[in-house]
């Protein structure tokens, strides 16, 4: 096939790079959400333990 | 690498990826044969190399677990395979977009490179169901490691077999003919590859840190709220059968 004109090719190139960026952002945000949840839970457990020790 | 250094390394990975993409669009020349659509190559090929490398690394880490019995290797192997599987989705997506632009088809079943990558992808899709189908932790880790080693060995064998195949329309990048890229293209490709490797390492460390913290949390919870001794989860191994 002959090379696509710049206008048509640009849409495909943009689609490829946007797909990659979306995949990356989704992955990192899922990881960040999980890390936040684990940290909150750890903080809660630590506070619970401190409360029990102070009694 | 300490967890505290992760944000800094993550920022440098993001910066290097940004710099590599800037090289793609402002430095690398437009390919005389394919035109502007060849810019996808700088994303698709490093992604593919890193994903396949990650699968092999997962196999090596699985082997380390089988040799040492240290559970950290099992965790590392699991994270490497999980991350590579996500990158492999990116490889399939960007490859399909390129194929549509260059060949006029989203997928070509007669193309060995495409089908072989799909086989590798589907093979690794079985890793998680297999792993989590086994409840006993030790057996789960050993089975997953054995799978990782065998599948990891299959990846380079599959790659070599495909390259020996005759009827190929998929471009060869790292070969005697395809490897002869002009200097600017080669520099850009190597920059993209380096950035992708750095990104993989950062994401691997991030997921490893998250997994380790989750395991630690589970341990703490068990210590805080011990499960009654009648529960099968804490039954001694001999009693469990």
Each residue's pLDDT, cut to its tens digit, for chain B (241 residues) gives 446 788 888 899 999 999 999 999 999 888 888 888 989 999 999 999 999 999 999 999 999 999 999 999 999 999 999 999 999 999 999 999 999 998 888 998 888 888 999 999 999 999 999 999 998 989 999 999 999 999 999 999 888 887 777 655 666 665 544 556 788 899 999 999 999 999 999 999 999 988 888 888 888 887 776 655 544 443 333 333 3
- Residue A33 domain-assigned? yes
Helix/strand/coil (H/E/C) assignment for every residue in chain B: CCHHHHHHHHHHHHHHHHHHHHHHHHCCCCECCCEHHHHHHHHHHHHHHHHHHHHHHHHHHHHHHHHHCCHHHHHHHHHHHHHHHHHHHHHHHHHHHHHHHHCCCCCCCCCHHHHHHHHHHHHHHCHHHHHHHCCCHHHHHHHHHHHHHHHHHHHHHHHHHHHHCCCCCCCCCCCCCCCCCCHHHHHHHHHHHHHHHHHHHHHHHHHHHHHHHHHHHHHHHHHHCCCCCCCHHHCCHHHHC
Are A52 and B228 in contact by the 8 Å Cβ rule? The answer is no
**B44 with A6: Cβ contact below 8 A:** no
Give the whole-angstrom CA distance, residue B106 versus residue A46. Answer: 53
Kindly determine whether residue B90 and residue A6, on different chains, have CB atoms separated by under 8 Å.
no
Question: Containing domain of residue A51, as a range?
Answer: 24-55
Q: Is residue A6 part of a domain?
A: no
Determine the Cα angle at B233 with ends B227 and B234, to 5°: 65
| Structural domain contains residue A10 | no
Q: B35: which chain A residues are within 8 Å (Cβ-Cβ)?
A: 3-6, 9
Which residue from A6, A35, A39 is facing B36, i.e. has the nearest CB? A6
Q: Which two tokens stand for residue B68?
A: 């040492």
pLDDT in tens, A1-51: 566 666 688 899 999 999 999 999 999 999 889 888 888 888 888 888 888
Minimum-distance CB partner of A12 among B40, B207, B216: B40
The sign one gets for the Cα dihedral B95, B100, B103, B106 is positive
Select from B139, B51, B47 the least CA-distant residue to B98: B47
Three-state SS across B111-167? CHHHHHHHHHHHHHHCHHHHHHHCCCHHHHHHHHHHHHHHHHHHHHHHHHHHHHCCC
Cα separation, A25 vs A19, in Å, equals 10
Closest residue on chain A to B83 (Cα): A27
| Count of domains observed in chain A | 1
Judge contact between B189 and B45, C-beta under 8 A.
yes
- Please give the Cα distance from B30 to B146 (Å, whole number): 45
Question: Does a structural domain hold residue A3?
Answer: no
Q: Is B143 on the interface with A (CB under 8 A)?
A: no
Please give the pLDDT value at position B225.
67
Beta carbon pairs, A and B, within 8 Å: 87
Distance of CA A24 to the CA centre of its chain: 7
CA Rg value for chain B: 21
Which of A9, A27, A42 lies nearest to residue B37, judging by beta carbons?
Answer: A9
CB B209 within 8 A of CB B75: no
Domain assignment of residue A7, yes or no: no
Both tokens assigned to B34: 């394919």
Predicted confidence (pLDDT) per residue in B44-86, tens digit: 999 999 999 999 999 999 999 999 999 999 999 999 999 999 9
Question: Does residue A54 sit within a domain?
Answer: yes
Q: In chain A, what residues touch B206 (CB-CB under 8 Å)?
A: 28, 31, 35
Please report, to the nearest 10 degrees, the dihedral formed by the alpha carbons of residues B70, B73, B75, B80 taken in order: -170
- Is the confidence metric ipTM above 0.95 for this complex? no
Interface mutation vs chain B, best among A1, A5, A6, A12, most B CBs within 10 Å: A12
Are the Cβ atoms of B104 and A1 closer than 8 angstroms?
Answer: yes
**Which residues of chain A are within 8 Å of residue B101 when distances are taken between CB atoms?**
4, 8-9, 12
Residue A40 in domain: yes
Rounded to whole angstroms, how far apart are CA atoms B2 and B179?
Answer: 38
Chain A residue nearest residue B205, CA to CA: A31
């Amino acid at each position: 096939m002959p090379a696509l004109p710049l206008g048509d090719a640009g849409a495909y190139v943009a689609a490829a790079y946007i797909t990659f960026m979306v995949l990356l952002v989704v992955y990192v945000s899922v990881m960040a959400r999980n890390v936040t949840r684990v940290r909150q839970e750890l903080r809660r457990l630590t506070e619970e333990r401190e409360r029990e020790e102070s009694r | 690498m300490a967890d505290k250094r992760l944000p800094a390394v993550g920022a440098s990975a993001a910066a290097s990826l940004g710099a590599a993409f800037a090289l793609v669009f402002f430095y690398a020349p437009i390919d005389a044969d394919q035109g502007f659509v060849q810019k996808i190559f700088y994303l698709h090929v490093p992604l593919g190399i890193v994903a396949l490398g990650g699968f092999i690394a997962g196999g090596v880490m699985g082997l380390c677990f089988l040799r040492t019995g240290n559970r950290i290797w099992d965790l590392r192997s699991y994270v490497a395979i999980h991350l590579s599987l996500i990158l492999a989705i990116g490889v399939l997506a960007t490859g399909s977009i390129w194929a549509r632009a260059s060949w006029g088809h989203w997928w070509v079943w007669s193309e060995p490179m495409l089908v072989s990558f799909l086989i590798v992808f589907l093979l690794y899709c079985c890793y998680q169901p297999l792993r989590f189908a086994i409840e006993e932790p030790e057996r789960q880790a050993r089975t997953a490691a054995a799978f990782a080693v065998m599948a990891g060995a299959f990846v380079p064998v599959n790659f070599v077999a495909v390259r020996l195949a005759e009827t190929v329309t998929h471009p060869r990048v790292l070969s005697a003919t395809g490897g002869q890229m002009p200097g600017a293209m080669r520099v850009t490709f190597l920059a993209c590859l380096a950035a992708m490797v750095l990104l993989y390492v950062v994401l691997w460390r991030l997921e490893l840190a998250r997994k380790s913290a989750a395991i630690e949390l589970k341990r703490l919870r068990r210590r805080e709220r011990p499960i009654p001794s009648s529960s099968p989860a804490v039954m001694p191994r001999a009693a469990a059968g």
